[in-house]
Amino acid sequence: TVSAGICKEFATYVTTGVNDFVLYTIYGLGFWFGAYLIRWGRNSVSEVITVFFSALTASYAIGQLSPCLSTFLEGAGAAGKIFAVIDRLPPMDSITKPEGAVTDPAHEPIKIAGGEPVMDGPKPIGLSLPKDKFQQSITFKDVAFSYPPRQEDKLFTKLNLS
C-alpha cells in the first residue's frame, strides 16, 4: 500500500541520515582532537593519522548496518500484512453445514451442552454438495482464472479436468 511504501522510504532515509551524521561527526571530532594533540605536543602527526583512519574504518563498519536495518524494517512491515491476513475472518462460513450437505463424519463438530460446536480435527473447507445432486464425478471444462487486481495476467486458460 501507499502508506507502507511511505514508511519504508522514511525509514530508509532516516537510517541513511543517521549513518551520514555518525560518519561526519567522527571525521570532525577526529580532525579537531588530532589537531589539538599535535598542537600541544602530546602526539605526532603519524599517530593522529593512524587513529583517524582507525576511526574512519570503524565508521564505515557502522555504516554497513544501514542496509540491514532497512531490510529488517521492511520485514517487520511485511509481517504486519501477513498477521492481518492470518487474523481476518473468511467471508465463507466453513463450519456450519448446509442442510442436506454431505461431509466427512471425521470432521463433524462436537456439540457441547450450552455452548457452540467445537471442531475436533481439521475444519472442513470448500463447498458441500447435496446427496441427490452428486453424480460421483466432477468435470472442469475450459476454466480460466486470474486474480482480480491483475485480470490481464491469466494463471491458466482452457483448463480441463475430469
pLDDT tens column, 32-79: 888 998 999 888 989 888 888 887 788 778 778 767 777 887 888 788
Half-sphere exposure (Cβ direction) of 42: Cα atoms closer than 13 Å:
8
Average pLDDT over residues 122-148: 67
Q: State the Cα–Cα distance between residues 138 and 156, nearest whole angstrom.
A: 19
What local confidence, expressed as pLDDT, does residue 157 receive?
83
* DSSP 8-class letter at 108: P
Identity (one letter) of the amino acid at 153?
D
Q: What is the DSSP letter of 149?
A: G
pLDDT in tens, 1-19: 678 778 888 888 888 888 7
The reported pLDDT for the residue numbered 11 is 83
Could you say which DSSP state residue 53 is in?
H
Cα distances (angstroms) measured from residue 57 to each of 29, 38, 51, 54, 93: 15, 22, 10, 5, 60
Contact (Cβ atoms closer than 8 angstroms) between residue 22 and residue 62: yes
Q: How many CA atoms lie within 13 A of 83 on its CB side?
A: 6
pLDDT tens per residue, range 77-134:
788 888 888 887 766 666 666 665 555 555 555 555 555 555 545 554 555 556 666 5
pLDDT score for 105: 55
116 Cα distance to chain centroid: 34
Which residue in the block uniquely carries the three cell numbers 542496509? 67
DSSP state of 155: S
In this prediction, residue 97 carries a pLDDT of 60
pLDDT computed for residue 100 by the predictor: 57
pLDDT at 29 over 60: yes
**Amino acid sitting at position 136:** Q
For residue 111, the model assigns a pLDDT of 52
Output the pLDDT for position 101. 57
